[in-house]
């Protein structure tokens, strides 16, 4: 017999009508769209049977420690390891699920938009007088088709982005921890990360955040990049080491950096914005926030919750049995 009870839902942009299957199964939904503090999360989880994790909270061992009825943390996204204490979840016999079958178009197209915006220097042209005043200090931008784009991470999103860029006429190469089948179908060149950094005019980061990918773009990577390169990070801020990023912006290695998401230490965000604001295109991790993409992730998470409460198998289970 299925368990029922309170289901905590965190994160904004979630269409609550998509949660009706959970209510129809006899559960009550408690939605908390604003970021919960660690103490608030612990209090909310204390009497929850399931947690649909769509926000920026970290489900720590302490937050899970009093959640005696909790069966599952259904994470909406891929990089669950950075938002759930996996060891604590295993110790408590919890399932942790993810949403690997999300639609790639939302993030891929958003990333393409960032690339176009940064490459053409649109921000710097918004308030320009007519006719435009070009000078050696403000050179004309290059056409995107003349740029080499390196993609770090060739999953479904990276592959979709590569296809879009190839249609435009860009040269595209990639780095991934393992070689990908899309390398052949898209006729891409695989390069090591240092070689990709040296080759690229625009470097795009699309890996999930895991312990092994945090700070993957560091001083050694920036040291290989050309002066005036563009960095696009549509993954998580933590994949780019912030001190190294600041130095690369300061010495001109990076002309513009676009980041979709903030560092967890707000003082780091504030310091970077204070010094490099006009050269930072900073968005609040919204690349996947289209109606279609969010609906696909919510649907997967809802099905995972129902399966966990029914003790049924789930192909999207990352932790548990």
Q: pLDDT per residue over 286-298, tens digit each?
A: 888 889 989 999 9
If asked whether residues 110 and 86 sit together in one domain, one would say no
Whether residue 137 has pLDDT greater than 90: no
If asked whether residues 143 and 234 sit together in one domain, one would say yes
Whether residue 40 has pLDDT greater than 90: yes
Mean pLDDT is lowest, of 7-11, 17-21, 87-91, 281-285, for 281-285
pLDDT at 2: 66
Residue 1 lies in a domain: no
If asked whether residues 121 and 247 sit together in one domain, one would say yes
- What residue numbers bound the domain in which 184 lies? 104-283
If asked whether residues 255 and 315 sit together in one domain, one would say no
Residue 70 lies in a domain: yes
The mean pLDDT value for 158-185 works out to 95
pLDDT at 128: 65
If asked whether residues 123 and 271 sit together in one domain, one would say yes
Provide the domain count of the chain: 2
Q: How confident is the model at residue 127 (pLDDT cuts 50, 70, 90)?
A: low
Whether residue 189 has pLDDT greater than 90: yes
d(CA 129, CA 74): 51
- Average of per-residue pLDDT values in the chain: 93
pLDDT at 288: 86
pTM: 0.86
Residue 22 lies in a domain: yes
If asked whether residues 184 and 253 sit together in one domain, one would say yes
pLDDT at 268: 96
Residues facing 203 on adjacent strands: 150, 231
User: What is the token pair recorded at 240?
Assistant: 């780019």
Whether residue 1 has pLDDT greater than 60: no
If asked whether residues 311 and 212 sit together in one domain, one would say no
- Sequence-ordered strand ranges (E) for 11-67: 28-32, 48-53
Q: How confident is the model at residue 125 (pLDDT cuts 50, 70, 90)?
A: confident
If asked whether residues 159 and 198 sit together in one domain, one would say yes
Q: Tens digits of per-residue pLDDT, 215-232?
A: 999 999 999 999 999 999
Residues 6 or more apart whose Cβ sits within 8 Å of residue 235: 79, 153, 205, 206, 207, 208, 209, 213, 260, 261
Q: Tens digits of per-residue pLDDT, 235-272?
A: 999 999 999 999 999 999 999 999 999 998 999 999 99
Residue 235 lies in a domain: yes
d(CA 310, CA 74): 14
- Please tell me whether the peptide bond between 131 and the residue prior to it is cis, using omega within 30 degrees of 0: yes
Residue 45 lies in a domain: yes
Highest mean pLDDT among 114-128, 134-148, 236-250: 236-250
Dihedrals phi, psi of 9, to nearest 5 degrees: -125, 120
Question: What single-letter DSSP state applies at residue 101?
Answer: T
d(CA 212, CA 177): 10
If asked whether residues 255 and 116 sit together in one domain, one would say yes
Residue 274 lies in a domain: yes
**CATH code for position 296:** 3.40.50.720
If asked whether residues 273 and 297 sit together in one domain, one would say no
**How would you class 289 by CB atoms within 10 Å of its CB: exposed for 0-12, middle for 13-18, buried for 19 or more?**
middle
d(CA 150, CA 81): 26
Q: Answer for the pair 281, 257: CB distance below 8 angstroms, yes or no.
A: yes
If asked whether residues 155 and 190 sit together in one domain, one would say yes
Dihedrals phi, psi of 171, to nearest 5 degrees: -80, 130
Residue 300 lies in a domain: yes
Residue 222 lies in a domain: yes
CA distances from 318 to 67, 311, 315 (A): 20, 15, 8
Mean pLDDT is lowest, of 51-60, 132-141, 145-154, 157-166, for 132-141
Q: How confident is the model at residue 138 (pLDDT cuts 50, 70, 90)?
A: low
If asked whether residues 151 and 49 sit together in one domain, one would say no
pLDDT at 136: 66
Catalytic residues: 236, 266, 285
Whether residue 49 has pLDDT greater than 70: yes
The mean pLDDT value for 163-176 works out to 97
The mean pLDDT value for 91-99 works out to 95
């Amino acid at each position: 017999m299925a368990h029922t009870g309170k289901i905590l839902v965190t994160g904004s942009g979630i269409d609550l009508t998509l949660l009706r299957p959970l209510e129809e199964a006899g559960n009550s939904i408690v939605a908390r769209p604003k970021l919960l503090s660690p103490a608030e999360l612990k209090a909310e989880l204390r009497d929850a049977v399931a947690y649909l994790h769509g926000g920026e909270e970290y489900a720590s061992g302490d937050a899970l420690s009093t959640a005696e009825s909790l069966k599952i943390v259904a994470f909406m996204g891929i990089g669950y390891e950075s938002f759930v204490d996996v060891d604590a979840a295993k110790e408590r016999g919890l399932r942790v699920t993810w949403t690997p079958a999300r639609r790639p178009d939302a993030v891929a197209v958003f990333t393409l938009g960032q690339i176009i915006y940064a490459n053409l220097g649109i921000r710097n042209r918004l308030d320009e007088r007519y006719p435009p005043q070009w000078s050696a200090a403000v050179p004309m931008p290059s056409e995107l088709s003349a740029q080499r784009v390196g993609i770090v991470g060739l999953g479904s999103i990276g592959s979709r982005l590569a296809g879009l860029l190839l249609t435009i006429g860009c040269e595209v190469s990639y780095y991934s921890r393992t070689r990908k089948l899309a390398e052949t179908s898209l006729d891409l060149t695989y390069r090591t990360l240092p070689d990709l950094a040296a080759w690229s005019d625009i470097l795009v980061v699309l890996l999930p955040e895991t312990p092994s990918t945090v700070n993957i773009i560091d001083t050694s990577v920036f040291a290989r990049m050309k002066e005036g390169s563009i960095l696009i990070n549509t993954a998580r801020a933590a994949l780019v080491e912030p001190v190294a990023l600041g130095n690369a912006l300061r010495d001109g290695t990076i002309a513009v950096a676009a980041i979709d998401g903030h560092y967890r230490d707000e003082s780091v965000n504030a310091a970077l914005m204070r010094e490099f604001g006009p050269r930072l295109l900073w968005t609040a991790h919204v690349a996947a926030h289209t109606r279609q993409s969010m609906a696909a992730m919510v649907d997967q998470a809802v099905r995972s919750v129902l399966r966990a409460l029914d003790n049924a198998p789930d192909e999207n289970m990352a932790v548990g049995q």
